[in-house]
Amino acid sequence: MQLKTIKFLQSEADWRRCPPPALPEFAFIGRSNVGKSSLINMLANHKSLAKISSKPGKTRTINHFLVNNAWYLVDLPGYGYAVVSKTMRAKWESMIRDYLNFRTNLQIVFVLIDSRLEPQQKDIDFINTLGELGLPFALIFTKADKLSATATHQNIMQFRQKLLETWEELPAHFITSAVTAKGREELLNYIEQIINQSNTEINRNQNEEN
């Protein structure tokens, strides 16, 4: 897939005020400081599309971007959270869960994992929550340029083994670097594949109705 156009649409704290669910939607989420904004900028080939901060917790709303006038890229707040009050943390958790529960055009959730780290319980817990909600998801291992290929592979295998303790089947995963653009083509092609499958199903259902 080629990204010909991408533009920021809006930020909302309530899923009901998000853009009309007329286009397929792809959400990106991860623990604070996982490199989500850098990944989104890399995918868009735009250095400052998503705001990057040295302080975790910069993203605090549901942020929609329109890509190729054909699909939405959604930047969600992190679930690791910065140092905030319990009230604010509960508000973010409710906002994210409601979005995941009720956004009808959501195709898949991309969960970002820091490839430098051993399995983190917050990541496992969030993935299990997606399972409870019955939502499709894939894993994106970020910051692959920070370690050797061997070390990165070992950490990813360790994470996948941890998932197998509770999951019978593992999701697709991608290895990325915002610095080298590693994984960009594979990830965009995967999104394109999902869009094509969705369009095929829509056309099939329309034909059956007619």
CATH code: domain of residue 167: 3.40.50.300
Q: Within a domain: residue 130?
A: yes
Q: Within a domain: residue 88?
A: yes
Rounded CA gap, 143 and 34, in Å?
8
CB atoms inside a 10 Å sphere around CB 55:
9
Q: Within a domain: residue 209?
A: no
Domain coverage including residue 94: 6-200
Buried b (16+ CB within 10 A) or exposed e, 153-189: eebbeebeebbeeeeeeebebbbbbbeeebbbeebee
Rounded CA gap, 15 and 190, in Å?
25
Q: What is the pLDDT of residue 146?
A: 95
Q: Within a domain: residue 208?
A: no
Q: Within a domain: residue 1?
A: no
Q: Within a domain: residue 86?
A: yes
Q: Within a domain: residue 99?
A: yes
Check: CB of residue 71 under 8 Å from CB of residue 9. Answer: no
Q: What is the pLDDT of residue 199?
A: 79
Between helices 149-163 and 121-133, what is the axis angle to 10°?
50
Q: How many domains, in total, are found in the chain?
A: 1
Whole-structure pTM over 0.75, yes or no?
A: yes
**pLDDT < 70: residue spans in the chain:** 48, 50-59, 80-85, 202-210
Q: Within a domain: residue 183?
A: yes
Q: What is the pLDDT of residue 161?
A: 96
